[in-house]
Structure 1
């Protein structure tokens, strides 16, 4: 049998093939060398990142308590639903979004958007789907049917609970989720996308103390990205406890009196603030109406928020610091101190108030009665408008008395803190208005008139103050001439009970007013009560103070809560010396402001703030 000759393979083909093999193996060897030796650490890290993942462990927010340890804000256990995008098959993403949305009462598009955002941000970390805690039943439904919810996690979390929410909301505020925009600046400080942050009030101002420090949990995952085991754990650090200067007992005494007045339709809104004049500690701060900050903690609905914003009584505003009002006759302290300090008046300056009114260029100016002859003490005690018109701008009732003028009144008003924020450790404090001829020209483009001086003298016209400003001014007189910065923070305590911060009282300034003149004001304020102008039957404490009535706003109709608008607004600002004398020993000063209340221009006045002050101070100090 004949065999076919085989084709001859040329030698150069063997050489070319061999060379190609050498090149390939050389390249593979070089690549292997690069992977194993040159960049071995880098690729090892990549492998570890796929296999080992470090997850954050939630840190509880610190609590808030009053000066005696009564808990005002704490945390309750709850559940959060999150997604880990890397564990969600893209083919099932739409199905999962619809199922989760239906279960959590959220739009499917919103759920899908959250998944996409977290996938872009970091697909290995969980992103919270619902900003509000979910009920236990829903949490169990998700965990028991895990095959229907790939990549979905249910984790325990804390929900903020505020005791007496409506009472303390204007002071404590609330927390809320970090926004996408805020995260850009906050992530460098350790915040995550599903974090909460203090939004207003104490929760916002002392965020750095209240926020805990995250821990972490290092886990091992298999090739399918399923968790195998925990490799390491760093426990979180609970946030610090913020101790306030507030005394819950006084807060509730004040709140109870004000709420009863609203319920009895004596007034529609009210503010009450108490302070220690010796150091600026706020002992109580009530603003009515308020709001329940637990609504924000659990996640306020759009309809609930719309109702709060539409309320014409502005419940979201802390009226003690955020709204400004005419001071009325309480401002006569400023006019009086201005005249005394500038030497245009003394204790014995007399004005013979023989009529209830007089006119300037056809404009009448009134007093509430013809008082007869008054000196400084009785003029202040009887709250004579004509007496203080005379001290401010001069009147025919005392031709020899030279008015101190609006510039001096503005000077001492600013010295006492009017026209500028007090600096209290709360956000959104109003500055108020301390008018002057320059102020009017700049803001109204009009020259100052003698009528403006008269109105300023009795706390009307352009004068506008916050209740806290007024209280702080009187507190500086009560303590002998120091204007303290009001504050709510007493101390900060860590989770082990160690005090980590105790802020010292901050002095704003010493008043450039003599002790003699301050003593005269304290004596005059005490006479307001003893003479019967601020009527306190069977008084058991040597309370001193000053009444005030301002007329502004609508005097007819009803407000958003259906209560009568009366158009008059009453003040009583008080302080309580240690004994019935003029020594600067007061440990408590208080202001009560009632909005839409009865006009109180009478000798035994019906100013509702007076009786409330007596009842509150006697109950608080005497333990009644």
Structure 2
């Protein structure tokens, strides 16, 4: 399925050496009128090129030129001296809004870029990848210019060709994305935004066994064809005026509190340091834990919980206790240094290394980090908040998905990637992207298996409610509380202040083996008015419908 292609188009260029200075104002006026450009801009471009290299044509059209205009200019050379109409390839994006956060767009070289890239064979008239995969894989997508060495006479007239090298078409980049899965995510998440069930949404799917990104969705997106056709001031104002920031790929470029999904890190830290095991009991007889006069809440009084059920029921007090201990009883927690250690090992606080520009690092806090950042000491309250994914900790959706993928595959941190292979102009594969192992995490197989068991229990006990489930989905719910909880955003949608996560993985059988070949995260903004441990989390139902349609539906 083609996501971006080139279509034929026309550009207008001027060769300064063929344009007498006295005729330049008249030509600039005519070209400006016919192209809808300020004649002063046209004249400035010609003057700059005249000073730089008058023997090299310069592009004066700011956007693709219509065929009828190209014909007018070509047929009246006496009115347009030194002007050439040149065929060019124009990028065209299919399913533009759906894929724009990933694909990005191309644009014209700036003066500074031209100066730095001229030695690499770039011309001033070139376009270059600006964002997304267009930027990331410019070196593969770009072709090579042909050239012709000619002999001129004293009047600069061409006499003959001395040597010639033909142009070489650029390569094609093949992605790991499954278009069918991408559109399943779009169908659920776009509908939710349109119905004002949430204001924004992110969905990512990955193969935990090799790091391949199977889908990456960020809503709102934008129409990247606008940038190809010459974005208008109204269009740019529309994008800049949307406080949901449609130009940002939220899957990698923004960071958020992970909420209860981060209990994975607290749990693995406690298990790895011997502070907890599967039989560790915490009696949650109240929904409030009071320490030093401060109250720390749970969403209910759960009663007696062991590790698997503490995770499955998402008890905050259970994980306050594992992370920070309970000074009232003298019980020790694993502490912030260990949470920092294992959180970092799972990839939090650092870029995953995905092959996209603009990835955020997130925040994996520690006592040293707080001291350096705020010049304040760490408190037990900081540990409690961190233990349940609030406070200072902040993650990208991809980081969160990657951490769960590491658990799902048995402890291997694969670098997420979108590139599958590069195909040459003749159809031959010139490069295949192999899986890249970043590291093996320092967590035992028994502890990873216990987390997979606990994640499956989240669904089987109904905490993540999936009626008539047809697949053995495992995962974890979470609620992130941040931002305004009143009013409307710039698109007129309700701000609720609570945002919901569900991160999941699907083993090949209903057991704890590390066999999952798909993991997925869904994040919905402004989707509830309270903590969704005891309310409807829309990400859960969407995950069930998407995975069942993808795995069991018609290919």
TM-score, structure 1 length as denominator?
Answer: 0.86
1:166-181 equivalences under 5 Å are: 166-181=97-112
Tell me the equivalent position of 1:93. Answer: 24
Q: Check whether the contact 2:413–2:437 (CA below 8 A) recurs between aligned residues.
A: yes
Tell me the equivalent position of 1:416. Answer: 346
- Which whole-Å CA distance do the structure 2 matches of 1:223 and 1:389 have between them? 86
Structure 1 gaps, min length 5: 1-69
Q: Secondary structure at the residue paired with 1:352?
A: strand
Report the alpha carbon displacement of residue 358 of structure 1 after superposing the two structures with TM.
Answer: 2.3
Q: Check whether the contact 1:600–1:606 (CA below 8 A) recurs between aligned residues.
A: no
Change over 3 Å in CA distance of 1:603–1:324 after alignment to 2:
closer
Q: Check whether the contact 1:368–1:602 (CA below 8 A) recurs between aligned residues.
A: no
Tell me the equivalent position of 2:284. Answer: 353
Report the alpha carbon displacement of residue 277 of structure 1 after superposing the two structures with TM.
Answer: 0.1
| Greater displacement, 286-295 / 222-231 | 222-231
- Which whole-Å CA distance do the structure 2 matches of 1:333 and 1:470 have between them? 10
Q: Check whether the contact 2:288–2:298 (CA below 8 A) recurs between aligned residues.
A: yes
| Residue-pair matches, total | 554
- Which whole-Å CA distance do the structure 2 matches of 1:260 and 1:223 have between them? 68
The question of 1:201 aligning with 2:132 is answered yes
1:502-541 equivalences under 5 Å are: 502-541=432-471
Larger Rg: 1
- Which whole-Å CA distance do the structure 2 matches of 1:240 and 1:602 have between them? 47
Report the alpha carbon displacement of residue 502 of structure 1 after superposing the two structures with TM.
Answer: 1.2
Q: Secondary structure at the residue paired with 1:461?
A: coil
Aligned with 2:358 (options 428, 449, 469)? 428
Aligned with 1:303 (options 220, 228, 234)? 234
Structure 2 gaps, min length 5: none
Aligned with 1:620 (options 539, 547, 550)? 550
The question of 1:320 aligning with 2:320 is answered no
Q: Secondary structure at the residue paired with 2:311?
A: helix
Tell me the equivalent position of 2:147. Answer: 216
Q: Secondary structure at the residue paired with 2:41?
A: helix
Change over 3 Å in CA distance of 1:556–1:182 after alignment to 2:
same
Report the alpha carbon displacement of residue 607 of structure 1 after superposing the two structures with TM.
Answer: 0.3
Tell me the equivalent position of 2:316. Answer: 385
Change over 3 Å in CA distance of 1:367–1:215 after alignment to 2:
same
The question of 1:466 aligning with 2:396 is answered yes
Tell me the equivalent position of 2:297. Answer: 366
Tell me the equivalent position of 1:585. Answer: 515
- Which whole-Å CA distance do the structure 2 matches of 1:470 and 1:315 have between them? 21
Report the alpha carbon displacement of residue 228 of structure 1 after superposing the two structures with TM.
Answer: 7.4
Q: Check whether the contact 2:291–2:327 (CA below 8 A) recurs between aligned residues.
A: no
- Which whole-Å CA distance do the structure 1 matches of 2:299 and 2:39 have between them? 67
Report the alpha carbon displacement of residue 400 of structure 1 after superposing the two structures with TM.
Answer: 6.5
Deviation string 1:415-470 (CA, Å, 9 cap, x unpaired) is 10000000101111110001111111110111111111100000000010000000
1:226-305 equivalences under 5 Å are: 233-305=164-236
Aligned with 1:562 (options 492, 497, 519)? 492
Tell me the equivalent position of 2:406. Answer: 476
Report the alpha carbon displacement of residue 303 of structure 1 after superposing the two structures with TM.
Answer: 3.3
Q: Secondary structure at the residue paired with 1:148?
A: coil
TM-score, structure 2 length as denominator?
Answer: 0.97
Q: Check whether the contact 2:258–2:390 (CA below 8 A) recurs between aligned residues.
A: yes
Q: Check whether the contact 2:348–2:364 (CA below 8 A) recurs between aligned residues.
A: yes
Deviation string 1:462-505 (CA, Å, 9 cap, x unpaired) is 01000000000000000000011101111111001111111221
Tell me the equivalent position of 1:453. Answer: 383
Report the alpha carbon displacement of residue 100 of structure 1 after superposing the two structures with TM.
Answer: 0.7
- Which whole-Å CA distance do the structure 2 matches of 1:424 and 1:599 have between them? 34
- Which whole-Å CA distance do the structure 1 matches of 2:407 and 2:163 have between them? 61
Q: Check whether the contact 1:334–1:412 (CA below 8 A) recurs between aligned residues.
A: yes
- Which whole-Å CA distance do the structure 2 matches of 1:348 and 1:370 have between them? 19
Tell me the equivalent position of 1:607. Answer: 537
- Which whole-Å CA distance do the structure 1 matches of 2:406 and 2:194 have between them? 34
RMSD between superposed Cα atoms in Å: 1.6
Tell me the equivalent position of 1:34. Answer: none
- Which whole-Å CA distance do the structure 1 matches of 2:266 and 2:348 have between them? 13
